[in-house]
Amino acid sequence: MGDSFFKQVSDFPLMLKAALAFSKELPKIKKPSAIYISGLGGSAIGGDLVKNYLRDKIAIPITVVRDYLLPSSIKKEDLLICVSYSGNTEEALSVFKSALEKGINIAIITSGGEIHRRALKEQIPTVVVPAGLAPRSALPYLLISLLKVLEKAEVLPLQDRAILEASKFLSARKKIYDTKAKRLAKKLIGKIPIIFSSVGTTEACGYRLKCQFNENSKATAHLCVFPELDHNEIVNLARLESAASLFLLILKDEEDHERIKKRIKITKELIGKSIKESAEIRSEGEGRLCRMLSLVYFGDLVTYHLALAKKVDPREVYVIEKLKEALK
Amino acid sequence: MGDSFFKQVSDFPLMLKAALAFSKELPKIKKPSAIYISGLGGSAIGGDLVKNYLRDKIAIPITVVRDYLLPSSIKKEDLLICVSYSGNTEEALSVFKSALEKGINIAIITSGGEIHRRALKEQIPTVVVPAGLAPRSALPYLLISLLKVLEKAEVLPLQDRAILEASKFLSARKKIYDTKAKRLAKKLIGKIPIIFSSVGTTEACGYRLKCQFNENSKATAHLCVFPELDHNEIVNLARLESAASLFLLILKDEEDHERIKKRIKITKELIGKSIKESAEIRSEGEGRLCRMLSLVYFGDLVTYHLALAKKVDPREVYVIEKLKEALK
């Protein structure tokens, strides 16, 4: 079960490197003063990761749009990047069509489908990535393509070195991560993971992990973000009634704000009586991109192994297909 | 237990009206091209509600900042509205101080504290609201003050009529809402609420409800947003293992996108085998502001009554005090 899917999950580091080739033909794009990234699910999370990655590297606001509607604040001279792995996501198509009508600068990242056909017809800058993967497994392709579009729009300098270093580092960690992930997955059987992340640093990685628990492991997971969680969620976490089934996963990064590092420590102590089991997942490697991707890669492996340990198929997302059918 | 706190919760409609007076002295503010609202917890949720309320009414982007750090995209000519009910929230103070150093246009909404002292010294436009409430109970004051600041910045026309109508409508519904809320609260004892909300329309109301479950009811709640939830969360919701303890709360608004209305219906059917208990909460009243506030008001009452039904004190958030002490 899931052998070829294991390749999709574990090839993450190789895919980062392979993705460098897909944007070779991408033309230069006019430098925008605001960036909007439209997508859903596996096609949107790359936008969140880019937003965290660039948080203090560029002075241009980035907004991720998980909606049918184009935000009312978007201007013609802004850049809308439509990400739809299948090319047929109805929400992304809806945003794309509105943007076309309004004459907004657009770039496309897709493997094909209707959005690709329209992009060809309208001569819109497009990165075409290989088809045939689960959308969530295509993240390395979609994420690197996003960085490439931003390079072409002169928003950020060439990222090839950081990408290649992350690819190399994570390739070298593959076996160790896999072993550690299998061990952690065993502890998570029958538990609801509570993920602690931090605003700007591990936030997008935390959301990726939550969604991978949903889709790969068929498990409910709960995402909390520092410092906001200390203003509401901590109240119930400190006095849970059915805490026996909860497992705290704390994502950590060296760039977490000093006060947030302190908050993590104190919050963990304050809820310790209520949630007894926990694990810390520290980002690893040189540079912010590598560290972020280390959290994503390790988390992906954990959720894959949790599926196997629970004896569910990590690839299967049958209910999404059923939903699409019913929506027709 | 919680009698004076019941007044705080149930007086919501009266507070909307009373809040109109607090901004009478507010000077004119330079019209910005981007708006940032800084705050945490009960002081931030007004920002989310304003963002939803104005989603297609203004062409200016609104960003809510729940962080210690000022976003790198903020410019001098943008407007930063610092909301801190106590005036001593360390994250909001950190953002405020960075903005002062950078010479950014600032407005303040607070009941006092350090931020008020600094605002007086620096002659920053400030709305001072009455002190002595739980920050989450001050939402009507903070929300209306936000609208007033935006009026003064010529971002939107006078909202008094919409505010007064909402206040009147919700005052008239008080008894009915209270009875209905008590009935729903009884069903929620020992359950984990899964809140379904929709992007742009009921999203902020859903987040408010989640946080009120946390703080008032000391209950864990799980927030999912359409259409994103159909791309990940639906997978586990459709095949939950311990679904007996979950209760689905679906927030609905007449302005939900037609495709999202369809998604809500189909998603509910698809996960129906897994989550058997559910309730729909429909927004009510004339106009978007009133409808949004009807969801907030009813939700606040539900979480208050759930606390009483669980025999916990809805006012008490002792662990937040303990955390603040430990952070010193």
Judgement on whether residues A173 and A282 belong to the same structural domain of the protein: yes
Q: Is residue A180 part of a domain?
A: yes
pLDDT in tens, A296-320: 999 999 999 999 999 999 999 999 9
Phi, psi of B227 (to 5 degrees): -85, -5
| Domain finish residue from A132, A158, A184 | A158
Q: How confident is the model at residue A193 (pLDDT cuts 50, 70, 90)?
A: very high
Judgement on whether residues B121 and B194 belong to the same structural domain of the protein: no
B79 touches chain A (CB under 8 A): no
pLDDT for the residue A280: 97
Q: Is residue B168 part of a domain?
A: no
pLDDT in tens, A29-77: 999 999 999 999 999 999 999 999 999 999 999 999 999 999 999 999 9
pLDDT for the residue B247: 94
Q: How confident is the model at residue A243 (pLDDT cuts 50, 70, 90)?
A: low
Cβ contact, residue pair A200, B69, below 8 Å: yes
Largest CA distance in chain B: 61
The nearest CA of chain A is from the CA of B72 a distance in Å of 5
* Cβ-nearest to A236 among B219, B233, B245: B219
Closest C-alpha to A205, from A110, A302, A271: A302
Q: Is residue B323 part of a domain?
A: no
Query: Mean pLDDT for each consecutive 10-residue tract of chain B (328 residues)?
Result: 82 98 95 97 97 96 98 96 97 97 97 97 97 97 98 97 98 98 97 96 98 96 96 90 81 98 96 89 98 98 97 94 93
Q: What is the CATH number of the domain that holds A111?
A: 3.40.50.10490
Cβ contact, residue pair A225, B66, below 8 Å: yes
pLDDT in tens, A279-300: 999 999 999 999 999 999 999 9
Cβ contact, residue pair A220, B239, below 8 Å: no
A317 touches chain B (CB under 8 A): yes
Judgement on whether residues B12 and B154 belong to the same structural domain of the protein: yes
Mean local confidence (pLDDT), A84-103: 97
Mean local confidence (pLDDT), A174-193: 96
Nearest CA in chain A to B238: A319
Judgement on whether residues B36 and B92 belong to the same structural domain of the protein: yes
Q: Is residue A150 part of a domain?
A: yes
Judgement on whether residues B24 and B153 belong to the same structural domain of the protein: yes
DSSP states of B6-26: HHHHHTHHHHHHHGGGGGTTP
Q: Are B235 and A218 in contact (CB under 8 A)?
A: yes
- For residues A237 and A258, give the distance between their C-alpha atoms in angstroms, rounded to a whole number: 23
| Domain finish residue from A158, A178, A199 | A158
Chains A & B: contacts with CB separation below 8 Å: 178
Nearest CA in chain B to A74: B59
pLDDT for the residue B242: 60
* Cβ-nearest to A228 among B41, B60, B242: B41
B179 touches chain A (CB under 8 A): no
Q: Is residue B255 part of a domain?
A: yes
ipTM for the predicted complex comes to: 0.96
B257 touches chain A (CB under 8 A): yes
A67 touches chain B (CB under 8 A): yes
3-class SS string, A60-105: CCEEEECCCCCCCCCCCCCEEEEEECCCCCHHHHHHHHHHHHHCCE
pLDDT for the residue A240: 77
Closest C-alpha to A51, from A62, A43, A59: A62
Q: Which residues contact B267 (CB under 8 A, 6 or more apart)?
A: A323, B196, B226, B229, B230, B234
Helical residues (DSSP H) of chain B, grouped into ranges: 3-10, 12-18, 45-53, 90-102, 113-122, 139-152, 160-188, 203-215, 233-237, 258-271, 288-310, 318-327
pLDDT for the residue A274: 82
Cβ contact, residue pair A270, B236, below 8 Å: no
Mean local confidence (pLDDT), A133-143: 97
Q: Is residue A321 part of a domain?
A: no
Give whole-number Cα distances, B2 to A328, B8, B10, in Å.
50, 10, 12
Q: Are B125 and B22 in contact (CB under 8 A)?
A: no
Q: How confident is the model at residue A146 (pLDDT cuts 50, 70, 90)?
A: very high
Closest C-alpha to B84, from A140, A139, A231: A231
A189 touches chain B (CB under 8 A): no
Does residue B101 have an active-site annotation? Answer: no
Q: Is residue A27 part of a domain?
A: yes
Cβ contact, residue pair B227, A91, below 8 Å: yes
Burial of A3 (0-12, 13-18, 19+ CB in 10 A): exposed
pLDDT, averaged across chain A? 96
Cβ contact, residue pair B231, A42, below 8 Å: yes
What residues of A act catalytically? 215, 231, 324
Instruction: Choose, out of B211, B217, B232, B257, the residue to mutate when testing the contact with A (most A CBs < 10 Å).
Output: B232
Judgement on whether residues B193 and B68 belong to the same structural domain of the protein: no
The nearest CA of chain B is from the CA of A131 a distance in Å of 18
Judgement on whether residues A154 and A176 belong to the same structural domain of the protein: no
Judgement on whether residues B84 and B193 belong to the same structural domain of the protein: no
Does residue B324 have an active-site annotation? Answer: yes
Closest C-alpha to A247, from A288, A290, A289, A217: A217
Cβ contact, residue pair B327, A262, below 8 Å: yes
Q: Computed over its alpha carbons, how large is the radius of gyration of chain A? A: 20
Cβ contact, residue pair B91, A227, below 8 Å: yes
Instruction: Provide the domain count of chain A.
Output: 2
Q: Which residues contact B252 (CB under 8 A, 6 or more apart)?
A: B202, B264, B280, B281, B282, B283
Closest C-alpha to B210, from A264, A64, A237: A237
Nearest CA in chain B to A54: B72
pLDDT score of A244 more than 70: no
Judgement on whether residues B22 and B143 belong to the same structural domain of the protein: yes
Judgement on whether residues B251 and B297 belong to the same structural domain of the protein: yes
Judgement on whether residues B186 and B278 belong to the same structural domain of the protein: yes
Contacts B35 to A, Cβ<8 Å: none
A211 touches chain B (CB under 8 A): yes
Judgement on whether residues A115 and A150 belong to the same structural domain of the protein: yes
Closest C-alpha to A292, from A46, A66, A65: A46
Q: How confident is the model at residue A273 (pLDDT cuts 50, 70, 90)?
A: confident
Nearest CA in chain B to A223: B222
The nearest CA of chain A is from the CA of B262 a distance in Å of 7
Query: Which residues span the domain enclosing B8?
Result: 3-158
Contacts A73 to B, Cβ<8 Å: 58-62
B260 touches chain A (CB under 8 A): yes
For residues A4 and B195, which has the higher predicted lDDT (pLDDT)? B195
pLDDT for the residue A45: 98
Q: Are A172 and A299 in contact (CB under 8 A)?
A: no
Cβ contact, residue pair B67, A245, below 8 Å: no
Q: Is residue B321 part of a domain?
A: no
For residues A246 and B128, which has the higher predicted lDDT (pLDDT)? B128
A21 touches chain B (CB under 8 A): no
Cβ contact, residue pair A61, B323, below 8 Å: no
- For residues B147 and B165, give the distance between their C-alpha atoms in angstroms, rounded to a whole number: 15
* Cβ-nearest to B218 among A217, A236, A270: A236
| Domain finish residue from A158, A179, A201 | A158
Cβ contact, residue pair A227, B56, below 8 Å: no
**The amino acid at B21:** A
